[in-house]
A and B are shown apart, each in its own frame.
Chain A
Amino acid sequence: MNKNNTQTNSFSLSNDKVSATILLVPALIFCTIFIFIPAIGTIVGSFYSYSLTSMNNWKWVGFGNYVKATQDEYFWVALKNNFIIVFASIVLQVGVGTILAAILDRGIKYGRVIFRTIIFTPMVISSVAVSLIWLIIYDPNVGILNAIFKSIGLSTPSKGWLGDPNISIWMIMITAAWQNTGFMMVLILAGLQGVSKEVYDAAEIDGATGVKAFWYITLPMIRNVLIVAILITTIGAFKVFEFIFVFTQGGPSNATQVLGTYIYLQAFNLLHMGYANALSVILLIIALFLGWLQLKSSRKA
């Protein structure tokens, strides 16, 4: 009897393995074609010098493209801008998203659904469309932002909101925050709604209400959700492309260049495909590290 059971179990186990393998094959095929092969191609290409118009003329340069990156002033500008965007996105999107979520969760009694919908709406619009709309808002000649500033007696930047290298990156950040804060708010709101009301009731008895309750009860209770939100924002900030490309194409004078747009510039405008591959590998390593962090914290959450 026992022998039969063992045979049945081992048969069903191997049967399960076969089923699992069959079910995984389509996904593996797609991943291989669209992710693994291009990724390997990019890594291999990063050791060569070639361009989009000389695909049959690859020249081995070893680690030359990586060395070039370390000496490239604009690569460091792009990397620095990515970190600025990470920092600003965390403050603007996660920070403001948390405040909005807290207000919607416990701060107001009526209209929660309406406010939540309004704040979330920009998220469903394409980033390119959002950028084009804000491009008109920021226009130094006919834009509404200049008109508002002038109407209240404030001066506007003489080089334009997007033409001044000192402020253009921040203007793009504001637009990105406008679009993405709603998503962070919904994510954090879900975390907040998972916090038991009994905890607040108990805290109230001990005298912790309002901001105090938020600081000592809410934030520690949603810590893991916040970590996930920060990691999603960080990864998004490293992948940013559309906003920069539509707004400034990395200008003025490379002031808003990020890794995504710089890779595009090198690959398609300056025709340094090998170098662009090397920059992509660097971005891939950063993204993999952040992805690993996200996975780790997600499991914890």
Chain B
Amino acid sequence: MNFLKFITKKIYLFIFSLFLSFGFITSSYAVDITIWDLSGRNGQDEFYDNLNKEYKKINPDVNIILQTFENEAYKTQIQVALNGNDGPDVFFNWFGEDSARLARAGLALDITPYANVEGGYGNYISEGLSNTTAVNGKIYGVPNTSVSKYFHYDPAFFEANSLAVPKTFDDLLNLCRDIRAIDSSIVPWPLGNSERWKLNHVITMLNQRVVGEENTAADYNLSASEDELFTNPAYVEAWQKVVDLQDAGCFQDAPNATHPDLTRSMFASQISPMIYCGTWCGGIFNGEGFSDFSYFRFPEVVGGAGAATVGFLVPSGMMVSAKTAHPEIAAHVASFMVSDDMALQAAELMGFMPSNPTKIGEMSNPTHWFNFYVNDIADKTGHVNVLDVLLEANVSNAYLDMGTEILNRTKTPQEAMDFIRQVALEAKAAM
């Protein structure tokens, strides 16, 4: 009997302590919002620390937890995580086919209802920008920045050798030849295509300049008829321009075996006088000790169907997981990231081209490259998204593969386009 009493007492004690614990938990109820972002951005840790602090001022019970991932690995991990039950609440994405696919699959949350609530993203960014994330009229993301690409060059080298900034594609070819004539060991334009996307960015621009964005649209979204899909001969011409660049000695010998990081270092250490690099590169060059660089746009292709005033622009930002337990708070956190003060901090700390430019004038000591990027993006008459974000996955992979083949000369431009057309036809049939 004593034993039974002893056991009963222990059970009561256990239940009592359980109630106490529950009371303790509920009294300090807090919401964790996990954000997944790419790693390696300058000033990223400071930005997210500040985001957490600032957000706590308006919502003290919310903890923002940042988890970062390497660029290439992220593309796979985010898909796996969103299908599981332990994924992020808010996550980074590039806005294009990648983000649209997640929306269509029901893995991303429709955040249209949160646009115009208090503190909603609709208060901070333009409708046009929000629409870059739209699928069937619903908004699935909050763009917080955009990336573009420019030729960065070493003006001291250009001046010392009386070289001029190229205005046309032929000028660019001649520039490469002139640099090789000065010293054949100098690589005019180092190209690191070991991950395949570097040349993909170049062919994105060449397609725009040669084929023209109006002519590519139906092919890119696979809405062109089967007889016409990717049959425009200008696509072959665009690939031929890559061959021309290689023949003019622009690139180093083995672009497919060279990592993009190395080519950035070649430019930053002034081994090479120019590079086609994104708006994230200015900070990297500066970090590696070279800040006296200048820039020019991807040159015009004379006779091409696309305007030289159109540029490369990939909007990116945050999406909300459809599986988040706190959709309202998650959407609010994503919106808060583009609020006036946080957009300013993103620009100052991480060099973002902010989607909310309200306080851009208040930036303390903006860098010369930041000013250039912001002003030039605003000056452009139109933008094209990059092919590896824009195209259907199989067609995108075909374009990436053909870039490697063209550089290795294992396929001609015509053979490359025949292959891409075949893949596009199969992708269209599977839709």
| A95 interfacial contact with B, CB 8 Å | no
Does B340 sit at the interface, judged by CB under 8 A? Answer: no
B256 touching A270, Cβ below 8 Å? no
* Residue in B80, B106, B257 whose beta carbon sits within 8 Å of that of A138 in the complex: B257
A139 and B256 in contact, given A53-B102, A251-B404, A268-B79 (Cβ under 8 angstroms) = no
Specify which chain A residues have a CB less than 8 angstroms from the CB of B253 in the assembled complex: 140, 158-160
B258 touches A160 (CB 8 A): yes
Which B residues lie within 8 Å of A51 (CB)? 105
The answer to whether B256 touches A163 (Cβ under 8 A) is: yes
A141: which B residues are within 8 A, CB to CB? 252, 254, 258, 262, 266
| Interface positions of A from 239 to 290, Cβ below 8 Å from B | 248-249, 251-254, 265, 268-271
- A77 CB to closest chain B CB (Å) equals 12
Binds A, one of B211-219, B309-317, B393-401: B393-401
Question: Which of B101, B102, B408 contacts A163 (CB under 8 A)?
Answer: B408
CA distance A164 to B136 in the complex (A): 44
CB distance from A159 to the nearest CB of B (A): 5
Q: Are A54 and B254 in contact (CB under 8 A)?
A: no
Interface of A is mostly: loop
Chain A, interface size: which category? Answer: 20 to 34
Beta-carbon contact of A251 and B196 below 8 Å = yes
Contact B76 A268 (CB under 8 A): yes
A152 at the B interface (CB under 8 A): no
Decide: B257 and A139 in contact? CB cutoff 8 A: yes
Q: State whether the Cβ of B351 lies closer than 8 Å to any Cβ in chain A.
A: no
Q: B83 near A161 (CB under 8 angstroms)?
A: no
> In whole angstroms, how far apart are the Cα atoms of A265 and B398 in the complex?
12
Contact partner of A270 among B83, B106, B397, B411, CB < 8 A? B397
Q: Are B254 and A159 in contact (CB under 8 A)?
A: yes
Nearest CB of chain A from residue B6's CB, rounded to whole Å: 30
Tell yes or no: B194 within 8 A of A by CB. yes
- Other than the given A52-B79, A160-B257, A252-B256, 17 more pairs (CB < 8 A) read A52-B83, A55-B83, A140-B258, A141-B252, A157-B254, A158-B253, A160-B253, A160-B256, A162-B194, A163-B256, A249-B195, A251-B404, A265-B397, A268-B75, A269-B393, A270-B397, A271-B101
26 intermolecular pairs with C-beta atoms under 8 Å apart: A53-B79, A53-B102, A54-B105, A135-B259, A140-B253, A140-B258, A141-B258, A141-B262, A142-B262, A159-B253, A159-B254, A160-B253, A160-B254, A160-B258, A163-B254, A163-B256, A164-B257, A164-B408, A165-B410, A248-B194, A251-B196, A252-B257, A253-B401, A253-B408, A253-B410, A268-B76
Top-6 shortest CB links A-B:
A160-B257, A160-B254, A163-B257, A163-B256, A53-B105, A140-B254
